[in-house]
Structure 1
Amino acid sequence: MNNRILTSTALGIALLSTAALASCSSGGGGGESQSDELAGLTGEIGSKDFSEQYILAHITTELLNAHGADVEANTKLVGSSNVRQALENDQFLGYWEYTGTSWITYNGNTTPVQGAEAQFDAVKEADAANGIAWLDPAPFNNTYAFAIRESEADALGVATLSEVAALPTSDQSFCIESEFSTRDDGWPGLVSAYGLSDGDVTMLDTGVIYTATEKGDDCNFGEVFQTDGRIPALGLVVMADDLEFFPSYQGGFTLKQETLDEYPAIADVIAEVSPLLTTEVMQQLNARVDVDGEDPEDVAIEWLEEQGLI
């Protein structure tokens, strides 16, 4: 082979290598888009002020940008009402909301709809009157729950709240937060619905409940949020709400209907990721932030890459 052929071959290999590197860099984190069906879509993806919401905002931002959009995540607002108002005022293009929050807090209902699907349908219809669209929800449900350390669940033989209510009073000890103690969808209603004993109740801050439940010193059963990453990290198991007392807090991406009308492909793009976001997956992602101290944006990008979505 002469030098001219060698040079041409080397040049070809170099060009192929450069193209491959460019292709690899076009995923998340601001790289080039994989497709352009959302070209022209700009704005901010909002979030509430906790880890799960940060992760969801970055997942959505990266995924939309991979399909031609040019959006950014804004994780600076505090409080559900402020985030909802930011959507209504067009500060946010969209954000992930929970069905129970919208039904009770924004739409003024006092009684939840039993069943996740029925609750979603009711919220979707109610918010349609407000000009806000709900895309198909993810399976995860960030509702209230009660958890116990796994070893004690096995020892007591309990897996549901009805079975907890059937335990001897001496085994029915609970750790709850102050707000939960007075809510209609909290402790008073739960005691009434299941016939629980309310004689041994310890009031603790939300974060402390998880470690107290793990140790078992203050209580056997602790009030938790079902997608919290500390549940699996601390070896806790959630008791099934077999009477469906707690409202469904299923997650779904919300945006203005006028935005969806202009960019209907948003629904198709979000549909790529929504079915993958189960309660177990959200627990794992939340744990990487709340337990392992990882950055929510990094967690979002790495997970999307693992799923082959960016």
Structure 2
Amino acid sequence: MRLLPIAATAAALTLTAGCFSQSGTDAKGGSLAKGNSLKGASLTVGSKEFTEQLVLCQITALALRSAGATVKEKCGLQGSNTTRTALTSGSIDMYWEYTGTAWINYLKNTRPIGDPAEQYRAAAEQDLAKNKVKWLAAAPANDTYAIAAKTTAAQELGVKTLSDYARLARTDPAKAATCVASEFAGRSDGWPGLQKAYGFTLPKQQVATLAEGAIYDAIGKRRPCTFGMTTTTDGRIKALGLTPIADDKKFFPVYNPALTLRDEVHRAHPAIQKIIDPVAAALTDQVLQDLNGQVDIKGKEASDVAQAWLQSKGFIGK
């Protein structure tokens, strides 16, 4: 999706060099490499700084190495705009972007498209035509915003939908106390737009601005807020017993992740698409929640999580 960091880390990952890489973990051939050779290709994979992006960066690097490419990693760049500029300037060759982010932030469209397939098609077509950025297949996962609460709290308050939540905010604002991250608080596809779409204004004293990572713990403990901004593929949702409240008016944009690369890179190495498209197809909400949770909850390295998942699918060899 997004411009927001999920994990408070920007450190580059220092890993053991492999035979097909300038940095990072080696990868043996699996199903992705069958009939797809990238030997002789030298590619740089980047990502934003939050957990999901770090995992996707490692997945991509390993997938490409399994087909023989030499891959340099620039995982963990600071912010969406920095990462996008790295792509368009040639500092990196590819990274995973989100359909809603590109549509609104880079292509400057004011209204998101509710249908995921149409949103992807429109973003991909415009980005290629205007910026010569090629979009590979989008994953079915939707890393969008959500308002969430402890499952028991949502049940206690009778809040199943955001219309229910808005009603609570209007009638008993203290019970609807909500934590938001600073960027979400100012984005049109965030807090201001949400209040407008659902017809409520929560008093300022019932809105706490926290670092994103702290929000999950806060709503898990119901202190200082019962509800909070989350993202739908974050591993902490399941681990902390949280429930995203149904967006019954479909306010939040669709944020399907897809690997984006400069068109010249795609034309030079068309095998990249054949290698990455099966990976994208396997990335559901549940898969990303699990992969993100292994990093954020269990403390595993993103590279180890990526390697284990790719091997479990037979995408790369063991």
TM-score (norm. length: structure 2): 0.83
Match of 2:100, SS state, is: helix
Letter in 2 for 1:160: T
Equivalent residues in 2 for 1:1-310, closer than 5 Å: 29-34=25-30, 35=33, 36-129=36-129, 130-167=131-168, 168-170=171-173, 171-199=175-203, 200-310=206-316
d(CA) in 2 for partners of 1:59, 1:46: 11
Letter in 1 for 2:253: P
Contact kept, 8 Å, 1:172 with 1:197, in 2: the verdict is: no
d(CA) in 2 for partners of 1:44, 1:125: 24
Contact kept, 8 Å, 1:115 with 1:244, in 2: the verdict is: no
Residue of structure 1 in register with 2:4 after alignment: none
Deviation at 1:176, TM superposition (A): 1.4
Contact kept, 8 Å, 2:54 with 2:76, in 1: the verdict is: no
Residue of structure 1 in register with 2:11 after alignment: none
Range with bigger deviation, 52-61 or 221-230: 221-230
1:288–1:31 CA distance, 2 compared to 1 (3 A): closer
Letter in 2 for 1:124: A
Match of 1:117, SS state, is: helix
d(CA) in 1 for partners of 2:182, 2:29: 47
Contact kept, 8 Å, 2:149 with 2:220, in 1: the verdict is: yes
Range with bigger deviation, 264-273 or 128-137: 264-273
CA deviations over 1:91-117 (Å, ceiling 9, x no partner)? 212110111221122222232222322
Q: Which runs of 5+ in 1 are unaligned?
A: 1-25
CA deviations over 1:182-218 (Å, ceiling 9, x no partner)? 2222212111211235133222222221111011132
Match of 1:135, SS state, is: strand
Contact kept, 8 Å, 2:182 with 2:210, in 1: the verdict is: yes
Letter in 1 for 2:135: W
d(CA) in 2 for partners of 1:217, 1:49: 27
Residue of structure 2 in register with 1:5 after alignment: none
1:151–1:66 CA distance, 2 compared to 1 (3 A): same
RMSD, aligned CA: 2.1
d(CA) in 1 for partners of 2:213, 2:221: 14
d(CA) in 2 for partners of 1:31, 1:208: 35
Contact kept, 8 Å, 2:27 with 2:62, in 1: the verdict is: no
1:31–1:103 CA distance, 2 compared to 1 (3 A): closer
Matched residues, number: 285
d(CA) in 1 for partners of 2:151, 2:28: 46
Letter in 2 for 1:268: K
Report runs of 4+ in structure 1 exceeding 6 Å deviation. Answer: none
TM-score (norm. length: structure 1): 0.85
CA deviations over 1:259-298 (Å, ceiling 9, x no partner)? 2222222111111111111112111111111122111101
Contact kept, 8 Å, 1:139 with 1:278, in 2: the verdict is: yes
Q: Which runs of 5+ in 2 are unaligned?
A: 1-19
